[in-house]
Amino acid sequence: MHRSALVPLILSAALLAGGCGRAVEGRPTADAWVPTADNPDPSLSLDGIEVVDYPPAYHVLPNYRVAYTFSPPMGGRHDNAWATCTGVVYPEAVRTENMVHSLEHGAVWIAYDPAALDDGEIAALAARVEGEPYLMMSPYPGMDRRISLQSWGHRLAVESSDDERIDRFVSALRLNPNTFPEPGATCATLPTTFDTANPPAFVESAPDPASPLTLPE
């Protein structure tokens, strides 16, 4: 072989010896925000996390409303039809009872106050969600926080779309079988049960406690 042809081969061998071929001391460590047998709910380490123990909940009919304790809610009774949660970014607010059902399936819901966020912040949140399984996002008018993350029995308020806790919340709780009641349930829907292009409308006013169509959480 010609001498000049040996040079790249020698350089390649040297790189391998100094890189992939070299043993690295220590042991690999798991992502601290991914659930493990020893740490089944990593979200408990998040600053500001709210946690409520919700059992599987009853379904309500489309003409009923639920008097949720929290706004946005993170569990409780919900509509029989779940909101599509296959990485959908809803441009308009969606009926709360449908969104809560998706949490029971293992989804994470990112809600935001449309009066508090500018277009850039909304776009940054949408980039995290769009097309990602078991994620969904929607405006939620009138809430007392700029951005709110929900999974079943878990809620977290953040002020900024670049808060690192957003990704940590998603890693810890999306499809975490230790934290939601229905592992294996789908996030997909049929238009006959839930029309993603024309979802049930959000109602901002509080449910009337005297109405027979209002149910407790």
State residue 194's pLDDT score.
98
Question: 142 pLDDT exceeds 90?
Answer: yes
Mean pLDDT of 89-112: 98
Q: Tell me the pLDDT of the chain averaged across its residues.
A: 90
What's the one-letter identity of residue 170? V
Phi, psi of 102 (to 5 degrees): -65, -30
Question: 216 pLDDT exceeds 70?
Answer: yes
What is the percent of the chain with per-residue pLDDT over 70, rounded to a whole number? 86
Q: How confident is the model at residue 31 (pLDDT cuts 50, 70, 90)?
A: confident
The per-residue pLDDT for range 148-186, each reduced to its tens digit, is 999 999 999 999 999 999 999 999 999 999 999 999 999
The per-residue pLDDT for range 54-88, each reduced to its tens digit, is 999 999 999 999 999 999 999 999 999 999 999 99
Cβ atoms of 216 and 209 closer than 8 Å: no
Q: Is cis: bond before 141, omega within 30 of 0?
A: no
DSSP β-ladder status, 59-60 and 78-79: parallel
Q: How confident is the model at residue 30 (pLDDT cuts 50, 70, 90)?
A: low
Instruction: Report the predicted TM-score, pTM, of the whole model to 2 decimal places.
Output: 0.86
Residue written as token pair 């047998």: 37
Mean pLDDT of 104-116: 98
Please, what's the b/e burial string for 133-170 (b: 16 or more CB within 10 A of its CB; e: otherwise)? Answer: ebbbbbbbeebebbbbbbbbbbbbbbeebebebbebbb
Question: 188 pLDDT exceeds 50?
Answer: yes
Q: How confident is the model at residue 113 (pLDDT cuts 50, 70, 90)?
A: very high
Residue written as token pair 């709780």: 173
Of residues 6 and 178, more confidently modeled:
178
Distance (Å, whole) CA 95 – CA 154: 19
Strands (E), 65-164: 65-67, 78-79, 86-89, 108-112, 135-139, 147-151, 154-158
Question: 8 pLDDT exceeds 80?
Answer: no
